[in-house]
Structure 1
Amino acid sequence: MAQAATMAAHVQTLDLKPDAAWSKDLATRDRWIWDLASSDLILQHIQPLLGENIVLWGSSVVTRKPGQAHPWHSDIEVWNANETDAISVWIGLKATSQASSLSFINGSHRSGVSVQEAASGLPRDSRTDDAILQLARSRCGGEAALSTPNAWDGAMLMFAGGTWHGSLNTRSEGTRVALLLQFARAGFRIRQPDWSQLDWPFDFDDNVSPPLLCVSGDSEIALDAGNRVVSPPPASPPSMWDPSISLSHLPPHVHSWDPPLAVAPGGGWQPTLNFEGHSQILRKISAHASTLTPGEFPHDLQLHSDEELLLMLAGEAELHYATDPNDPSPQAIRVAAGDFAYYPSCTCHTISCPAEATEPAQYIMFRWNARPAWGPRTPTSLTRQQPWSLRDLFPTTGRGFASQLVVEGPTTCLPHLHLHASTVECGSGYPAHEDEYDVGIVLLEGTIETLGKQIHAPAILFHPAGTAHGLKAVSESPARYLVVEFHHPPDPDLPPPHDSHPCFRLPRHSIWKRTRPSRDRLIASLRSWRQQLWPKP
């Protein structure tokens, strides 16, 4: 259910193209949708029916407001398809229940006709459930039956492409959001309907070919059938801040601020990028330190798929949260130096420095992304919480070194995110070692020795998985810092480490181009740690 909620928020950020000639192309433009549609979590259910050679011809988001109906219909593109020709996969994302689920006429895909053709002699206001069921029984015999499966956020319904179906959201509140993925055997021709002719007889525009994606097998079979096959979206997108920037493999990195952070001339937001790149675990990891003068915002309310961790260094700020970017009444939470907050993927947010503040707000932001962990619902997944105060979390120590757990758990991107606060007295620390996960450290007080250097607070450090690092406090006063552990299996899409310098976003050159890994390797990677899609709670 946590993954369903995140995907529901994610699709709000997409251009759904409702007025386009072909609005079922989300997977051609969005990697999250493609990763899910092409994963073994779905293929294992449709390959026994469609065979090894499969195309994804439709990927779209369908919404229904309370009381809004989608009348009985057959999908025009596959109206004459049976269960060995085309399969549709419907996944509830938000406000899903039996009251907002789909309804089907069982066995109707074997009738050989669409519901639009069968009901062409009935006025639209006469096409009730009972009337449609009687039409189906006249075509299919006694096997025809009406069913409305129970569903929930994260539930997956599968049905043959030619099935008669419809929906009526009878919930009293809540717009139902669902993701529709439509598959066909590669040799089945998908034609562009004339959307001005939704009733029987259907009409098609064969001068336009919808874009199809090959999710399994040989794409040449689809081409020979007259289909247009396109490439999937990039496996590892460039920086989500600036698509003109190529991301490098990030080595161990240390950055401290001396002199203090700069203030934007004339006021406003002044960000300083500390580092940005990728590791073998994270498709993107970056950190920036920013100043924000009183009365200013860095940006409007925004949604993105990255996860973030914000830590206040000085001054005060207000964290603004909303349900969507157009929310007229976002929630505001006041934070001060030493407070920090975690932003799950697709949190609608921004930050401001209060107009009455006497000094600029200064803060550090970690921002990261990784291959989404499609899998069973995890009730303990981390969600947005009230900001924490490090003033209350740093442990006292009389034995040289002490740590205090802040929070840990799975997230949308990570099987496990772990945060703890540590206090280290002069001369104490830990020896050099290698971790199986990436580690970020924010030094807030004192001076430490690491990687052969003395580092003064405030500072930010990043240690990729498999790189040796140790730490020793060398200042008279204790060193205090926050540790962020990013746990995730190695990503097979990412290139291996190489000798390189830290990525300071300089120079700006070339979009990162790379080839997609083999289907077998991707499936094996997904199968190794997830076997089913969001089971019922």
Structure 2
Amino acid sequence: MTEEWKKQGYIAARQLIDSETIDYLASLDVDSGDLSKPNELKRLWMTDTQVRQLATSQTIRHQLDSLFENSDYYLWGAQIIDREPDQIHLWHSDNETSRPEGGFVSLWIGISGVDENSTLMAIPGSHTYGVPVQKFFAYEDPARYDPDGVAVLEKALEYDSEASIMAPSCNDGDGIFFDGRLWHGTFNHNRLPRRTLLLQYGKRGIPIRFAKDYMSYPFVYNDGHASAPPVMPVQGKPDPLVNHNVLEKNGQLTYTAASIAVQPELANKKQLNWAAFPYFNTPTRIFRKFSCHASELLPGCMPHMPHDHDDEEILLVLSGTATIFINEPGKGALRAYPSLAGDFFYYPSGQTHTIYNGSEEPIQYLMFRWSARAAQSRPAKTVGYKKSFYDAGNNRLSVNHQSSGLKHLHMHFTRLQPGQSFKRHVDQYDTAIIVLEGELSVLNQRLGRGGVFFIRAGELHNTHNEGTEPCAYLVFEFHADTATTIKAV
């Protein structure tokens, strides 16, 4: 990284694109878009192959490698911006990238009508102030529409006694790389329209989010993964726990497969009294840890004495006749609940519990266990449901239940006939699915009875019965606490 970049927050680059590319971009017929929908407005890299190729070209990557100090980074925004003669793009800091911690680089490229009378205006060093322009001047404030930036500069002088307004030299085909926090604006003083291409990048591990209202300060960012824009790794690997990644393969964009689909063989070959079969253990943006395992208990055995812990759990009986023991608050003694295949229980944090096989045949059961990242300890109660209830007649299970560390836990039961499906969609919560009958397909992966799908928030997915028999499954939705909403300084 150059000293000029560190000090000024921008650098100019000559002839980033050739005349053929300029002609192509100048001829693109693009809609100016709806500013209130930035998630749609800045997706040109997803819909135009040549723009995507330009954004990831070796010429541009060479500069970005230096500016990101050889860290991994991703592309998240690409937008054609047209300005008529005398049209102003008011003084601002980009809401998506103005958070004090930084980690974002934008590239402004001249396409047509760009010269000293229409280039980017910026206050060098303003990326180090720790606050965006919008903190001091409302959207309607005339100060932000002033080409001379008198009031904006006066505010900058409070942070830097040598602050000034600069207009980096830029013509068609040239570019200006700038820090996402920089105070800047553009003013087309020419007699002809001006067209530019804006490309935007972020450092791997840093989330990109849109403010709920870009015109109001302080910015409030919706941290729901489904509302985050897609990003494409340019250097390095995807980071699905932070951003919603897509990959390019053979010129086509595909969503990364963040889901987990497992159906191990539960074979207790050594005839252990208690045999455990780990399925997976993973962090997500909602969970510090989320694990799944199945177990087999031989007759007359239990896995452990009654115990409790801070984690929350769901237990589902897969086969056989089990006895669930739960210590009910205020009653002292453990209470026994005979349970059959398909019956399940939710244990809140601190619930005393165990399971016992009092039958003459082995039993098998499945466990989900988790600890939420933004947990707010709440009083929650153990709850259990019998399959004979939720899969009988019109008693179709669909309930929200209070969780110890989540906003809430939603549970529902679904039966699909052959050929039935739910369309592809994205959820803002992590989801676990357990197949109870038949075969279910999720993200082109097909599992039978006892199979488990785990789908992280933000992943595009659907459910489909591709078999010849009905299928039935339970769905558990883990809704994050509202404490995950991020507020800007």
Higher strand share: 2
Which structure has the larger Rg over C-alpha atoms? 2
Between 1 and 2, higher relative CO (CA 8 Å, sep ≥ 6) is seen in 1
Q: TM-score, normalised by structure 2?
A: 0.44
